[in-house]
Structure 1
Amino acid sequence: MRLILLALACLGLAACQNTTVPSVEVSDALCRPTPNGRDLTGCYLKLTASTEDRLVAVSTSAAAEAQIHAVSTEGGVMAMEEMPDGMPLRANEPAELAPGGDHIMLLGVTTPLKPGDTVDLVLTFERADPVTVTAQVGTPPLS
């Protein structure tokens, strides 16, 4: 009986060691400069999750609030709204937050952002550990 319990304990430990820890890689982080007299701007980046996950929140000391926005077009009119449940991420498939599409909106920017500045963004996920990324401030390239 002891031998069986010992074998089961070893199998349990082996199973724990093979568990994949969820992670998300972040690249190409960029925030637009704030327009003159405005205190909001958009930020863009690419996310690649190792497992199914969800971007649930973004925070920064550069703004009073950061929201994850979805962009849609209906009847030729583009609209954006906050994603209250966050943005789903598929395993190993890059997801882009990009100009003209889904993005991060910074509201109540505390100091005007100009080209050459940087903005630290803390990305919170449903499964993976939070990731802090430093976004450059600049104008996105035209696609």
Structure 2
Amino acid sequence: MKSRTLAGILLISLTLACGASYAQTVTIQDAWIRTSVPGQEATGAFMKITARVDERLVGVSTPAAGVAEVHQMLLDGGVMKMRAVKGGLDLPAGKTVALTPGGYHVMLMDLKAPLAMGSTVPMTLLFKDAAGTESRVELKVPVSTMEPGVANGMGAGLGSNMNGHKH
């Protein structure tokens, strides 16, 4: 009887440990969305993403926009061009991938309303690991005119408003 009880406890503990471990494979920091004005149809969202295991950012959604996609800015023949990232954005294990103005970013198009300074926007990030398992991170992203920490002179990346948000 004791061995069955112990086996049951171990099984439950292992299940909880695996769930907790997987639930924290992605960390989001310094997330923000650039403000928009009436009539503006698009804006960008930016953040730092760190994955504990190899993952891909394969989707983004928000009720604030009809379309949300991961885009990249590239210099092509001396001309800066923006394009959607097909197949998802690779997130190598242990490396922080920065989504920044002028680089990789989340493009929010067909905005439903202007995004005002100081408001927050719900956003869902969809990830897929090497085994094909999908997971989601739900965020409430602040709207600002510039990256967190820049306005107060602390420098880029400091003064994070999403520090420690884990999935």
TM normalised by structure 2 equals 0.71
Checking the alignment, whether the CA contact within 8 Å between 1:31 and 1:44 is kept in structure 2 is yes
2:116 corresponds in structure 1 to 114
Q: Which runs of 5+ in 2 are unaligned?
A: 1-10, 151-155, 157-167
Indicate the percent of aligned positions where both proteins have the same amino acid: 36
Aligned residue-pair number: 129
1:88 corresponds in structure 2 to 90
Say if 1:92 and 1:61 are closer, same or farther in 2 by CA, change over 3 A: same
Q: Aligned AA for 1:65?
A: V
Q: Aligned AA for 2:123?
A: L
TM normalised by structure 1 equals 0.82
2:141 corresponds in structure 1 to 135
2:43 corresponds in structure 1 to 41
Checking the alignment, whether the CA contact within 8 Å between 1:47 and 1:94 is kept in structure 2 is yes
1:55 corresponds in structure 2 to 57
- RMSD value over aligned CA atoms? 2.0
1:74 corresponds in structure 2 to 76
Q: Aligned AA for 1:59?
A: S
SS of corresponding position for 1:134: strand
Q: Aligned AA for 1:32?
A: R
State the alpha-carbon separation in 2 of the partners of residues 76 and 136 from structure 1.
34
Q: Deviations over 1:80-113 (max 9, x none)?
A: 1111201000001000100111100001111110
Checking the alignment, whether the CA contact within 8 Å between 2:36 and 2:43 is kept in structure 1 is yes
SS of corresponding position for 2:101: coil
Map 1:92-107 → 2, pairs under 5 A? 92-107=94-109
Checking the alignment, whether the CA contact within 8 Å between 1:99 and 1:140 is kept in structure 2 is no
State the alpha-carbon separation in 2 of the partners of residues 21 and 135 from structure 1.
23
The runs of 4+ residues in structure 1 deviating greater than 3 Å are: 16-20
Q: Aligned AA for 2:144?
A: G
SS of corresponding position for 2:135: coil
Q: Deviations over 1:30-55 (max 9, x none)?
A: 00111442121000011000100000
Stretch deviating more after TM superposition (124-133 or 17-26): 17-26
Is the radius of gyration larger for structure 1 or structure 2?
1
Checking the alignment, whether the CA contact within 8 Å between 2:125 and 2:138 is kept in structure 1 is yes
Q: Aligned AA for 2:104?
A: D
Checking the alignment, whether the CA contact within 8 Å between 1:33 and 1:139 is kept in structure 2 is yes
